[in-house]
Amino acid sequence: MPETGPDNTLTGCRRILLEWSDVPLRAILAATFITHGYDKIFVKGVSAFAAHMPPAVPLPSVMAWVAALAEFGGAIAIALGLLTRVAALGHICVMAVALLTIHLKQGFMTQHDGAGSEWQLALFCMALCLLLRGAGPLSLDRVISGYWRRKAPTPGTTAAAQST
């Protein structure tokens, strides 16, 4: 149970730690997916990735592009904290497909050959945390939402009256 003060709010240090906990989560998730997405798009090529897709995946060429762009573009968005929940949902979908079509059958522990599901499950859960909590304070999402909150009319006034 979080420590609370007399007015039932989180105490200073715990509130700050709770609010900023998403920043390192975003950093490692973004670094991981930028690396893998970059590799799929610019190093090995999306066609090579599509060639290794399991038969259960429909339209492998299209899905390979969707996955690669979700990984690379979504990771850049997560690093910036821009549309974080949308990008996290893309990563959740990519990891769900990878888990259901390949990795869950290989067991939990990751082996020397890369077989196993523990890493994909960890990435899935990290993205799920960002989907549920958002980007946190060090993000473009927070800057943009703060801008629109300042622009919103206060109750009982019109937008025209507030802008004067």
Q: How would you label 45-55 residue by residue, b for 16+ Cβ within 10 Å and e otherwise? A: ebeebbeebee
Give the integer Cα–Cα distance in Å for 25 and 4: 25
Amino acid 8: pLDDT: 58
Give the integer Cα–Cα distance in Å for 90 and 124: 10
Q: Token digits for 105? A: 């059958």
CA dihedral 76, 81, 85, 87 (to 10 degrees): 0
Amino acid 164: pLDDT: 47
Summarize pLDDT for 96-131 with one digit per residue, the tens. 999 999 889 888 888 877 788 999 999 999 999 999
Amino acid 49: pLDDT: 95
What mean pLDDT do residues 122-142 have? 93
Query: Does the global pTM surpass 0.95?
Result: no
How many residues appear in the chain?
A: 164
